[in-house]
Homo-oligomer: A and B are copies of this chain.
Amino acid sequence: MATERVEAMSAVSFSKRGRRLAPPEIARLMDLALETPGLLSLAAGFTDTESLPVDSFAEIVRRVTRRDGPPEYLQYGSNQGRSGLREAIAERLAQYDGGTPDAFDPDRAVVTNGSQQALQLASDVLCDAGDIVLVERPTYFVYLDVLRGLGVEPRSIPSDPESGRLDPEAFARMLTEMRDAGDHRRIKALYLISYFSNPASRSPEVDEKEELASVLQEAGLTIPVIEDAAYRELYYESAPAASSILSLEGFAKFPKLYLGTCTKPFATGLKVGYGYCSDEEWLRRILYLKGAHDFGTANLNQAVVEEALVSGAFERHLETIRPIYHRKMRALNEGLVESGLRELGWSWTVPAGGMYLWLRAPGEMETGFDSEFCRTCLEKGVLYVPGELCYGDRPERSFVRLSFGVLSEESLREAAQRFAEAARSLAA
């Protein structure tokens, strides 16, 4: 309705896609943040500013600009991305998955404007309006915006509401029902966030991933699987044990796209991500579409990230920030615990990596934008992401996502107190 009204005011006739596009859910959060002075935001998914690698970045730029030879880093690059960077990416993937150094082929990688771009392009070449993409419960809410733009229906994979773990029997039943209804032909892909996921900070183990593959394969759905590993490097103490789907036996027959980032845990202002695609034709079409968009990610950014990876500066920076995010997580977590939030019936798992706490409110308490709880939090001066935004269908109403990436430890403790005060005032 709102869309139709606005369109009438514009002289422009939009495409179906143009008409489907809507303000992203986070726009509302940003509006709320702007309208509320003194607000502490646990909503924004930004990274820690204090620990950004200022010196390391300046040194890398010095090295790159002092190289002999023509200043190719200031010139156009290729559409697919620098070969040296793609080699460094392939080596890291092999290392993470415990493979031999040549287990991954640099020619299967495409460098993108953040992994977000790879996600959008990959979905665009797969999905028509009316198609279905399988997503987790909960899932990355920005991807739900992407799917909405494409006119694609997200359909949630059944899982245990408490642990978030895949429910293989329910999943198999769902696929059978979809087949009976003739809906299975519309299923174009599965989207999986598998390391310290946004928003739930979950990292499914190998057996859970293999079960997923097994249920799909038994249903005859050897569909493209997209694994989003944006937070894989952001563990606090030990690297996640599970291999990516690129290396798991159960996914051998699936077309696979693995998404990573070179800058979320380094310098987000550079915005360099990548996709690694097992299917030649899928990759080719992603590349064609990327060519139409930008002919390749800015060469300078790629040169800087390549130097960071090859010189070890990237790895050293990871070692610096892991304890920082660990401390920030603990500051928020302890703030909530010490404020008595658990005693009020709130529950959550303490994560081993990533940037989010995923909390469940007690009972039937709702946490959406229009809920009493959300209004109370704004009154107390704290903002969060309502969990209900993170569901493709049948949203759970009582979760919240708290980010601890941006605020200082002190502010995180203060925000935790405000949050707990809001919770207490509603429990009273």
Collect the chain B residues with CB atoms within 8 Å of residue A291's CB. Answer: 24, 142, 145
Collect the chain B residues with CB atoms within 8 Å of residue A279's CB. Answer: 10-12
Does A295 have its Cβ within 8 Å of any Cβ on chain B? Answer: yes
Bound-complex Cα distance A145 to B291 (A): 9
Q: Check if B15 sits within 8 Å of A269, measured CB to CB.
A: no
Collect the chain B residues with CB atoms within 8 Å of residue A361's CB. Answer: none
Stoichiometry, as copies per complex, reads: 2
| A58 to B: closest C-beta gap in Å | 5
Number of interface residues of A (CB under 8 A): 83
Q: Check if A18 sits within 8 Å of B285, measured CB to CB.
A: yes
Collect the chain B residues with CB atoms within 8 Å of residue A72's CB. Answer: 49, 269
Segment 228-268 of A: residues with Cβ below 8 Å from B: 253-255, 267-268
Collect the chain B residues with CB atoms within 8 Å of residue A65's CB. Answer: 54, 57-58, 61
Partner of A120, one of B73, B142, B293, B296: B293
Bound-complex Cα distance A9 to B281 (A): 8
Contact mask for chain A residues 140-172; partner B; CB cutoff 8 A; 1 contact, 0 none: 001001100100000000000000000000000
| A180 to B: closest C-beta gap in Å | 20
Residue in chain B with minimal CB distance to A64: B58
Does A70 have its Cβ within 8 Å of any Cβ on chain B? Answer: yes
Q: Check if B293 sits within 8 Å of A293, measured CB to CB.
A: yes
Collect the chain B residues with CB atoms within 8 Å of residue A145's CB. Answer: 291-292
Collect the chain B residues with CB atoms within 8 Å of residue A21's CB. Answer: 125, 285, 288-289, 292
Q: Check if B128 sits within 8 Å of A269, measured CB to CB.
A: no
Segment 1-56 of A: residues with Cβ below 8 Å from B: 6-7, 9-18, 21-24, 46-47, 49-50, 52-54
Residue in chain B with minimal CB distance to A24: B291
Given known A53-B74, A61-B58, contact A17–B298 (CB-CB < 8 A): no
Does A98 have its Cβ within 8 Å of any Cβ on chain B? Answer: no
Partner of A46, one of B54, B76, B255: B76
Bound-complex Cα distance A299 to B47 (A): 14
Residue in chain B with minimal CB distance to A30: B78
Does A351 have its Cβ within 8 Å of any Cβ on chain B? Answer: no
Q: Check if A128 sits within 8 Å of B16, measured CB to CB.
A: yes
Collect the chain B residues with CB atoms within 8 Å of residue A6's CB. Answer: 281
What 3 A-B pairs are tightest by C-beta distance, nearest first?
Answer: A18-B125, A10-B281, A269-B299
**Chain A residues engaging chain B, CB cutoff 8 angstroms:** 6-7, 9-18, 21-24, 46-47, 49-50, 52-54, 57-58, 61-62, 65, 70-77, 113-114, 116-117, 120-121, 124-128, 131, 142, 145-146, 149, 188, 222, 224, 253-255, 267-272, 279-282, 285, 288-289, 291-301, 303
Q: List 30 A-B contacts (CB under 8 A).
A: A7-B281, A9-B281, A10-B255, A11-B253, A11-B255, A12-B255, A12-B279, A15-B124, A15-B126, A17-B125, A17-B289, A47-B75, A54-B65, A72-B269, A73-B269, A76-B271, A77-B269, A113-B293, A114-B294, A120-B292, A142-B291, A142-B292, A145-B291, A269-B303, A270-B298, A270-B300, A271-B297, A272-B298, A293-B293, A298-B298
